[in-house]
Amino acid sequence: MSPRLVNFVAFQAVWFASLLGATRGRPEIGLLVLAGALVVHAALRRHRWRGDLVLLAVAGLAGYLADSALTLAGVIGFPPEAAWGGPSPLWMVGLWVNFATTLRLSLAWLVPRPGLAATLGLVAGPIAYGAGARMGAIELPAGVAAGLLAVAAEYAIALPLLGWVAARTTPDAPRPANAAATEVVT
């Protein structure tokens, strides 16, 4: 199986495990599956996975801050049994970290396309959160329309920014053609 396909399958497994675990009052299940997926990610990326740590950390922090802001504003919420580690629960932070792994493999094509990333975020963010709400893992106390609109804005901003971080933290990325001309040789 190709690394991109393995990454895509691992991403989906973490997403489903996280939401199912949260709906059943067992949010740690998603984090355990994420830990396994991160081991798989490190194996797929071999010696390059260390450069991914910055991207994963930035994604986790950005997701925590963005979802916490929406939670504190009363736009999204979480049932008490799924709110482990709030305001944004740890399993949600894990989903942001999980998403960041795709920016190196299955969604690497999105990184150099910020406009497309924003459009994808505008559409896919609300779909994912809407599915989470239908499953009972996420609440939309401000109403479905207001909640999903806020999530659309969040993801339309977050995806291009995470792509920007991914592009700048990839140690194996090709260097610009004029980089050699600006280096000073001592």
pLDDT of amino acid 136: 93
Place of tokens 């190709």: 2
Q: Please check whether residue 159 lies inside any domain of the structure.
A: yes
Q: Please check whether residue 92 lies inside any domain of the structure.
A: yes
The encoded tokens of residue 20 equal 């199912």
Q: Please check whether residue 132 lies inside any domain of the structure.
A: yes
Cα–Cα distance for residue pair 165/183, rounded to 1 Å:
23
The encoded tokens of residue 133 equal 């709400």
Residue of 172, 7, 1, 168 whose CA lies nearest to 99: 7
pLDDT of amino acid 176: 44
Q: Please check whether residue 42 lies inside any domain of the structure.
A: yes
Instruction: Tell me how far apart the terminal alpha carbons of the chain are, to the nearest angstrom.
Output: 46
150 burial (CB, 10 Å; 0-12 / 13-18 / 19+) is buried
pLDDT of amino acid 171: 61
Q: Please check whether residue 183 lies inside any domain of the structure.
A: no
Cα–Cα distance for residue pair 31/24, rounded to 1 Å:
14
List phi, psi (to 5°) of 123. -95, -50
Q: How many domains does the chain have?
A: 1
pLDDT of amino acid 172: 54
Q: Please check whether residue 178 lies inside any domain of the structure.
A: no
Cα–Cα distance for residue pair 50/139, rounded to 1 Å:
35
pLDDT of amino acid 175: 42
Cα–Cα distance for residue pair 73/58, rounded to 1 Å:
22
Q: Please check whether residue 134 lies inside any domain of the structure.
A: yes
Average pLDDT per 10 consecutive residues for the chain, totaling 186 residues:
94 96 94 96 83 93 96 93 87 97 95 96 96 94 91 97 92 48 40
pLDDT of amino acid 184: 40
- The answer to whether 32 and 84 have CB atoms below 8 angstroms apart is no
117: how many CB neighbours lie within 10 A of its CB?
24
Q: Is 115 helix (H, G, I), strand (E, B) or coil?
A: helix
Q: For residue 164, what are the domain limits?
A: 3-170
pLDDT of amino acid 49: 75
Q: Please check whether residue 104 lies inside any domain of the structure.
A: yes
| Residues pairing with 77 in the sheet | 139
